[in-house]
Amino acid sequence: MTATRRYATTTFAILAVIVTSHPPLQHATAAEAAHKKQTQPTDGRNRHAMTFLQQNCLDCHDGSEGEGGFDLNRLQPDDLTGSSAPKNLATWVRVIDRIADGEMPPSEYGEVDTDQKTRFLKTTSKSIDNLVSSHHQSLGRVLSRRLTNQQLERTLGDLFAIAAPLSQLMPDEQRTDGFRNIADAQSMSHYHLEDHLRVVDAALDLAFARLRDNQDETVIDLPAERIANKRPGQRNRDPELRQGAAVIWSGGVSFYGRISRSTVDKPGWYRITLDASSLKMPDDRGLWCSIRSGKCVSNAPLMHWVGAFEATESPKTFTFTAWIEEDHMLEIRPADVTLKKASFKGGQIGFGEGEPQNVPGVAMHALTIERIYPGGDRAAVKHALFGDLDVRYDRKSKRFELRSDTPAEDLKKRLHDFAAAAFRSPVTPEVLQPYTRLIDRGIKDNDDPIDVLRQAYRAVLCSPRFIYFTEAPGRLSDHAVANRLSYMLTGKAPDTELRGAADAGRLSDPAEIVAQTRRLLDSQTLQYFINDFSDQWLDLADIDFTEPDRRMHRDFDLVVQNAMVGETRRYLETLIVENQPARMLVDSDFTWLNNRLARYYDIQADIAPSQWKRVSIADHPFRGGLMTHGSILKVTANGSNTSPVVRGVWICDRLLGIPIPDPPANVPAIEPDVRGATTVRQILEKHRSQTECASCHAKIDPPGFALEHFDAAGKWRDHYLTRKGKSYKKGPPVDSAYRLADGREFDSFVAFRNLAADDDHRIARNFAAQLLIYATGHEITFADRKTLDQIVSLTTADGYRLRSLIEAVVTSHTFLTK
């Protein structure tokens, strides 16, 4: 097929699927008309609400100049009984919440009639709930939601039995409150579709190349003599040979530790096996080293983290798995910034220059780099592409040949199976018609059958049925439930067993949903859920966003940073696997550490080199619970300074479930005094004295000040640092004492954490809310509050345990409806 012909076919395919009706949009249009027809105009039922507001609220919140910039004058009686989406809903909900919490009217305003307050809350809440629920029933709670980049990568990987970082080919995704899959924030344009098509082509190219390439293994086997690439009199950044080992000394020169002969000629997944030991360590601890990949040159400085290991005097074998790009090599070097570093003149290191400086070094005895295919072997790829088709690859013509007397019919049968897998639901002849036409046209024109099949695959994979989750308003179908459950817990399409349960109609039974949930949580795919959910809910995806100031945080390095992420993920996994109570998200007597992180936290623990261990921290009361993890403390700081406001808002939102409204537009952000002359407490006291700020800061400041004992890199501190010239010195003492919004006081971080953990009902409710957002791609609505109450009540008896909460979430009304 000519390039022009192939382009025309592709264009036809994409246009065909775009003009094909997209079920979610079709349902929305019909349902909207029905919704308008069913909804009755206002009958004055909310006039009592307006009277209550006029008597108790409007004298302070009337117009744009109202206190806190909160204008209630725009609220109208028919806001909550109209024929379209609720008007001013966020304002109404905020009014209800503040009155229910007793924040408004303020105590100095005088007593509010209890009966009137109760009636206002009851009638207004019911009006909102009825209208929002009606809106959801007719139009659906969630708009059409598409696959995230990561979900797209895994889904294509399963379809073609390949594994590759395809998500990197897509543009960055917008995150809303941490989550990447919020439907309202997702966009689709022809630019996005072009990027999507490029990813689809990349996946197809990888799959076809796997079948064309008859070489399964690429092995780079390097003894020490070949790892080293430096001779006497030569200056470069490669290892030097010393007593039969390739050695890199502790030093600060960029790319020192590059191994030129480790360069790979093809991008792919590789298994890296290294035999290494330490040299000249000043004490009996191990030497932490890093492995990164990259071009290792100044004009291409980006490096990719592979892993870390702890070398000891006795040689040990370390194994890593990593994706390495074409023409990239490995860099292996000591990475503990607390160790002494050698000083080298210029940008290169000469043979023998490091050893006389009496610094530690890593000795490499052997290195093997082996190409692997975690997506599947060649037979799996062939079956994924061709199913039962009789396809052979002719190496002479370098083409795939289909052996068939009825190619059109055989290709259509194969396309049917592929489309059912890609669309994640059964397909009808009507659904397949635009794609089977491509096959009929291609075969009629005597095009190569495999090229025809590939173009049909491209069209299927550009269809809204593949890109989006096909869900109709109301109760989800069994296949839609399978999709929602699988993408929540694995980030990819349902596996054979889950899809079989959907085919059999068993997912209408809550017991079957729970059974499938338990199976997935007990499988190896649990790591997908832990990584994806924690990256978004806990902002671990932002761990690289800031780099702590080296002058302030002298013992922070990349080994520590990656260990912090490992601690949080292992801890969360343990809580779920063991079905621990929700309060342990906030307070715990154990965590997961390796030697480097334990030393960073100043915790004495007997941990084997390079290993992770569950460590009791009963003797270290300052640690325990997610908000003491270095990862959380780092992503809630800017690298140099901490802010009680930033951390306070984050803790309230992500862990404690305390809603914080956006600040008034006319209130400036709080800037720390980097000189240290004024403490952040003094700055906030002035800020909080403003009436429009006080009510929110009563919630924000307690967790924010409690966490001030942790610096921007996650270490405990008793004093702030103040800047003197280019250096820092000990400054004012940290004061974490404060009081909660309800008046209860605490005098330390530990006391605050105890108070927070005691409210395990709120912690559990927030965890369930975060799961619902993640699973459905929509923020929690007013109508979802009833669902959350039911979820939490179902788990009260067992102490709000996490697996129990997950099971209650996936069988809830909100999860099981669009």
Q: Which domain holds residue 688?
A: 540-758
pLDDT at 116: 85
In this structure, of 136-150, 241-255, 532-546, 803-817, the range with the lowest mean pLDDT score is 136-150
Residues 367 and 402 occupy one common structural domain: no
- Whether 424 maps to a domain, the answer reads yes
Question: CATH number for the domain including 303?
Answer: 2.60.120.260
pLDDT at site 627: 98
* Domain closes at, from 372, 387, 422: 372
In a domain, 104, yes or no: yes
Least confident of 92-96, 257-261, 485-489, 700-704: 92-96
Same domain, 581 and 684: yes
Are 306 and 192 within one domain?
Answer: no
Quick: pLDDT tens for 430-480: 999 999 999 999 999 999 999 999 999 999 999 999 999 989 999 999 999
- Going by pLDDT thresholds of 50, 70 and 90, the confidence category of residue 82 is low
Q: Please, what is the Cα angle at 496 between 271 and 578, to 5 degrees?
A: 70
Regarding whether 272 and 185 lie in a shared domain, the answer is no
Residue 524 lies in a domain: no
pLDDT at 50: 79
- Residues 709-717: what's their mean pLDDT? 97
Crossing angle of helices 190-212/149-160, nearest 10°?
A: 30
Q: Is residue 792 part of a domain?
A: no
- On average, the pLDDT of the chain sits at 90
Q: Mark whether 307 and 235 lie in a shared domain.
A: yes
Please name the helix (run of DSSP H) or strand (run of DSSP E) that holds residue 246, with its range, or none: strand 245-249
433: exposed, middle or buried (Cβ count in 10 Å: 0-12, 13-18, 19+): exposed
Specify whether the CB–CB gap between 291 and 325 falls below 8 A.
Answer: no
If asked whether residues 223 and 87 sit together in one domain, one would say: no
- Measured CA to CA, the distance from residue 749 to residue 37 in angstroms comes to 56
Query: Which of 421, 445, 470 is the endpoint of a domain?
Result: 470
Locate the DSSP E strands across 252-314: 258-259, 268-279, 287-294, 304-311
Residue 495 in any domain: the answer is no
Terminal alpha carbon distance of the chain: 43
Looking at per-residue confidence, does 110 or 321 come out higher?
321
Q: Is residue 380 scored above 50 in pLDDT? A: yes
Verify that 229 and 344 share a domain, yes or no: yes
Predicted pLDDT at 668: 62
The per-residue pLDDT for range 12-46, each reduced to its tens digit, is 455 555 444 344 444 444 444 444 444 444 445 56
pLDDT for the residue 90:
81
| Boundary of a domain, candidates 436, 470, 504 | 470
Co-location of 657 and 586 in the same domain: yes
> Are 634 and 734 contained in the same domain?
yes
Residue 296 pLDDT greater than 60, yes or no: yes
Single out the residue of 649, 652, 626, 627 nearest to residue 710, CA to CA: 627
Q: Is residue 769 part of a domain?
A: no
- Tell me, yes or no, whether 692 and 729 share the same domain: yes
**Residue 787 covered by a domain:** no
- Structural domains in the chain (count): 4
* Whether 546 and 693 share a structural domain: yes
Question: How far is it, in rounded angstroms, from Cα 240 to Cα 351?
Answer: 6
Same domain, 101 and 73: yes
More reliable by pLDDT, 675 or 564: 564
**Domain annotation covers residue 797:** no
Q: Is a pLDDT exceeding 70 seen at residue 129?
A: yes
